[in-house]
């Protein structure tokens, strides 16, 4: 199913990526998908919201852990030119 996502990106203004904070097994998949989204030319101007779901669970990863796992600190943001 993920292979077809690119067909929906044209004219996309925002993406909401929901991370299951309690699923340590699949956080690497989430990272791969996020970084694939960031490389897609149709999403270069889109806003991306990362939502850490299930934070109420005792076994959930913290927001800092998720940020580290997703390597959010490596993402470079390009701001639009202001005239």
Within a 10 A sphere around the Cβ of 43, how many other Cβ atoms? 19
Residue 64 lies in a domain: yes
Give me the pLDDT at residue 52, please. Answer: 95
pLDDT in tens, 5-49: 666 688 888 999 999 999 999 999 999 999 988 888 888 888 899
- pLDDT of the residue at 66: 96
pLDDT score at 4: 61
Q: Using CB atoms within 10 Å of the CB of residue 82, give its burial: 0 to 12 exposed, 13 to 18 middle, 19+ buried.
A: exposed
Q: Looking at residue 27, which CATH number applies to its domain?
A: 3.40.50.300
pLDDT at position 80, please?
A: 61
Query: Hey, which residues does 18 pair with through a beta bridge?
Result: 51
Domain span at 55: 2-74
Answer whether residue 47 is part of any domain.
Answer: yes
Instruction: Give the total number of structural domains in the chain.
Output: 1
Is 79 inside any structural domain?
no
């Amino acid at each position: 199913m993920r292979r077809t996502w690119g067909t929906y990106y044209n004219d996309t203004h925002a993406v909401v990526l929901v991370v299951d904070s309690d699923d340590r097994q699949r956080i690497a998949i989430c990272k791969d998908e996020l970084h694939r989204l960031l490389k897609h030319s149709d999403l270069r101007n889109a806003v991306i919201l990362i939502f850490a779901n299930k934070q109420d669970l005792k076994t959930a990863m913290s927001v800092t852990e998720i940020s580290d796992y997703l390597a959010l600190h490596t993402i470079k943001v390009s701001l639009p030119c202001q005239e």
